Copies of this chain bind each other. A is one copy, B any other.
Amino acid sequence: MTAKPSPEKLLALGMSFWNAKTLLSAVELGVFDALADSPADLATLTAKLGLHERSARDFFDALVAMKVLDRDANGRYANSPETEFFLVRTRPSYVGGLFEMANARLYSSWGNLTEALRTGRRQSENQEASDLFAALYADPKRLRGFLAAMSGVSAGAAQAIADKFPWRDYKTFVDVGAAQGMVPVTIAREHTHLTGVGFDLPQVGPIFEDFVAANELADRVRFHPGDFFKDELPKTDVIIMGHILHDWDLGQKRMLLRKAHDALSEGGALIVYEAMIDNDRRENAFGLLMSLNMLIETDGGFDFTGSDCEGWMKDAGFSSTRVEPLNGPNSMAVAFK
């Protein structure tokens, strides 16, 4: 019997949208917020969240079985250590913005993956809009949600970049596509000799400045409004581009790398970080799926390997490059001018 192949792993993989959507709905409904610092029994939690009694218990117990809630011997539900830290909305460590975006937009857009693969065309809700980001940035509420989501995605990588890059050799940096400012805030907090700039579209300014002020770094981290398709990048020692290049097609990627090269001082460095695909394209499933997400979400974007990125960096004029792993599926390609 045991020699027969078993379909269990395949079935779990193909049905894992159940697990994913259950977690996304839990974030949407505020399950982890309701349990912040205070366990609650079934009736209390059901009432607090406004759930129908038919399936509330199954929902909470599914979250227990998925290890994102705990349940004590008295039947009281509590956040797990991870969800208490990462999925309570009021905490600075909140990463649920990504899930809010996934729940509100990506889950349904991904329903059209087959069509996207057949046509090569994006399937996100702004099919008609010529520029996804223009549409996103035109709506202040959606923009704030998107930027918070990006902070969630970037927090771990930001810490790893702060730890692994030789910051003592440099004085200034610019984070291109800075969003809320998770990366510049994390780096400036760890390295007090640095001053940093967040570069992004003007609409991002107030959101960035709120975040920097909340982290008490307004004296060393400031916002520089600009459009990297129209404007040059500010002169600096180190440029960071995180989850930026993957949004764009190859010509646009090369243009951005050239602008980074132009803006850097002699001996300066460019850090590109992404869920970079392993060079053999057979290990980093998340990076490859992120590239399919760029199919779903953008006109020409795609993710790439470290080796791809190093090649483009050299073509843009950089003299030496290297790739280093960061946290989880993320790596950084570093290029020196």
5 contacts between A and B (CB under 8 A): A16-B19, A22-B292, A52-B118, A55-B291, A58-B291
Question: Are B111's CB and A107's CB within 8 A?
Answer: yes
Q: Is the interface of A mostly helix, strand, loop or mixed?
A: helix
Copies, count: 2
20 more A-B residue pairs beyond the given contacts A51-B118, A58-B292, A62-B288, with a C-beta to C-beta distance below 8 A: A7-B152, A11-B328, A13-B19, A14-B20, A14-B98, A14-B102, A16-B19, A17-B110, A19-B289, A22-B113, A25-B114, A29-B117, A52-B119, A54-B302, A55-B116, A58-B288, A58-B291, A61-B282, A65-B283, A108-B108
User: Does A64 sit within 8 A of B, measured CB to CB?
Assistant: yes
Answer whether residue A125 sits at the interface, using C-beta atoms and an 8 A cutoff: no
Q: Are B11 and A95 closer than 8 Å at their CB atoms?
A: yes
Tell me if B102 and A53 are in contact (CB < 8 A). no
A62 engages B292 (CB within 8 Å)? yes
**1/0 per position for A1-17, CB-CB distance to B under 8 A?**
10001111111111111
Please tell me if A68 contacts chain B, counting CB pairs below 8 Å. yes
Query: What 1/0 flags go to A96-115 for Cβ under 8 Å of B?
Result: 00110010001110110110
Cα distance A163–B14 in the bound complex, in angstroms: 27
A-B complex: 6 closest residue pairs judged by Cβ atoms? A52-B120, A54-B120, A65-B285, A62-B288, A17-B20, A17-B17
Minimum distance in angstroms from A305 CB to a CB of chain B: 10
Chain A 275-306, CB-CB to B under 8 Å as 1, else 0, gives 00100011111101101110100001011000
CA distance A8 to B284 in the complex (A): 13
| Interface residues in A, total, Cβ within 8 A | 89
A86 within 8 A of B: yes
A→B interface (CB under 8 Å): 1, 5-25, 27-29, 50-59, 61-62, 64-66, 68, 71, 81-83, 85-87, 95, 98-99, 102, 106-108, 110-111, 113-114, 116-121, 152-153, 155-156, 159, 163, 277, 281-286, 288-289, 291-293, 295, 300, 302-303, 327-328
Known contacts A14-B24, A21-B111, A155-B7: does B292 contact A59 (CB below 8 Å)? yes
B303 touches A58 (CB 8 A): yes
Please determine whether A95 and B7 come into contact, CB atoms closer than 8 angstroms: yes
Query: How many Å from the CB of A283 to the closest CB on chain B?
Result: 6
Q: Distance in Å from the Cβ of A273 to the closest Cβ of chain B?
A: 15
The reply to whether B10 and A95 form a contact with Cβ atoms under 8 Å apart is yes
- Chain B residues near A155: list those with CB within 8 A: 7
Partner of A10, one of B7, B17, B54, B86: B86
CB distance from A213 to the nearest CB of B (A): 24
